[in-house]
Amino acid sequence: MTTTQLTLTAQAEAEAILTPEGFAHRQRDVLEQQVKVFPARAFYPSSLGHPCDRFIVWNFTRWDTKAKHEATLQSIFDEGRFHQPDIYRRLEALGFELVRESDRPVQYHVGGGVISGRPDGRITGYRGIKYKPALVLEGKSMSDYQWQATKTVEDLREAESPWTRSYYAQGQLYCFNENLPRGVFVLKNKATGLLKLIPFELDYEYAEALLQRVERLHPMIVAKQDPDPIPFTKSVCGGCGFAKQCYPAKSFGEGAAYLDNPALIALLERRDQLAEGASEHGRVDKAAKEILKHEGIKFAVVGPFVVEGKEASDGSVRYTITRQAAA
């Protein structure tokens, strides 16, 4: 292209990005460029709480076959990184004394395997009073729906979402490996900015089970042996990057379900905010419904939304998605 043609093209792009559609398209392109899939080099506390052995092992042995997550989920991951510094600042404003997250992960050697991770920090005192020993600090951000539903540490441990359950596993492993008897989860509400503190104590039996899991799975990784699959669970398997090679798509009409899928909830929240005629609404609507179709949803509660599906005469599925009225 000539210099004049390049200039005209640049001018056209500069005008196009000032439109809602052009901006949304460019934003999606940039986010998709950030989506990467890497092989696991160690066991991570965030994944050791995952209910599926196959998922953990395949992140080592079949990582290059894992489907990339979509742009909206990448934006959620990026947003989470911005919340942690704010959690630190606000805890310090309340009077807490902290040691913030280290730049380097700590490696713990277990039965030939390595657990690599770093706690979000430690709480060492409050307004001049020292905690001896210090407390493990795990700071997480959550949607308003999830934040409201989380009231005790058992709500984290027993959460439907494997992402949320992983928080509990992280806290337990860091307490165990750092030889600290207790810790706190500090949860930030993404909608209001409010913080919630959830205290917890080290559960030796639970932490030991995670370490035994490393000892059991490490030889399978070395031998490139596939663990047995778990029974299909929508909240676990539906959004898994290995879903297409581990399970076929579930057939439509399997009945009612409750889904605590953060990525799907985020898509439905975004869909609810957009005008129906907007091009981004169409893309978000399509992405959400593809997840629902893959999971075979006929009727489901998805966070604050109710999803109803009906099979049309041509075999396609028509979904009605409505937000539940606030209690």
Asked if residue 69 has pLDDT above 80, the reply is: no
Q: What does the pLDDT look like over 300-321, one tens digit per residue? A: 788 788 888 887 776 677 888 8
Q: What does the pLDDT look like over 80-89, one tens digit per residue? A: 566 889 999 9
Rounded Cα–Cα distance for residues 306 and 30 (Å): 32
Let me know whether 286 and 197 are in one domain: no
Let me know whether 159 and 83 are in one domain: yes
Let me know whether 163 and 123 are in one domain: yes
User: Which structural domain range is residue 310 located in?
Assistant: 249-327
pLDDT of residue 262: 78
Top pLDDT among 200 and 288 is at: 200
pTM comes to 0.67
Q: State the sign of the Cα–Cα–Cα–Cα dihedral 137, 143, 169, 36.
A: negative
The b-or-e profile of 28-41 (16+ CB within 10 A means b, else e) is beebeeeeeeeebe
pLDDT of residue 6: 57
Four-CA torsion 165, 167, 171, 173, nearest 10 degrees: 70
| E strands present in the chain | 96-100, 106-110, 113-117, 121-126, 129-142, 182-189, 195-201, 256-259, 299-302, 305-311, 317-323
Asked if residue 327 has pLDDT above 50, the reply is: no
Number of domains in the chain: 2
Residue 16 within a domain: no
Let me know whether 198 and 281 are in one domain: no
Top pLDDT among 12 and 158 is at: 158
Asked if residue 236 has pLDDT above 70, the reply is: yes
Asked if residue 46 has pLDDT above 50, the reply is: yes
pLDDT of residue 202: 97
Strand 182-189 to 113-117 pairing: unpaired
CATH code of 82's domain: 3.90.320.10
Q: Is 137 helix (H, G, I), strand (E, B) or coil?
A: strand
Let me know whether 171 and 255 are in one domain: no
Q: What does the pLDDT look like over 149-174, one tens digit per residue? A: 999 999 999 988 888 899 999 999 99
Which range is most confident: 239-248, 254-263, 300-309? 300-309
Let me know whether 270 and 195 are in one domain: no
Place 56 in a pLDDT band, splitting at 50, 70 and 90: very high
Rounded Cα–Cα distance for residues 305 and 184 (Å): 30
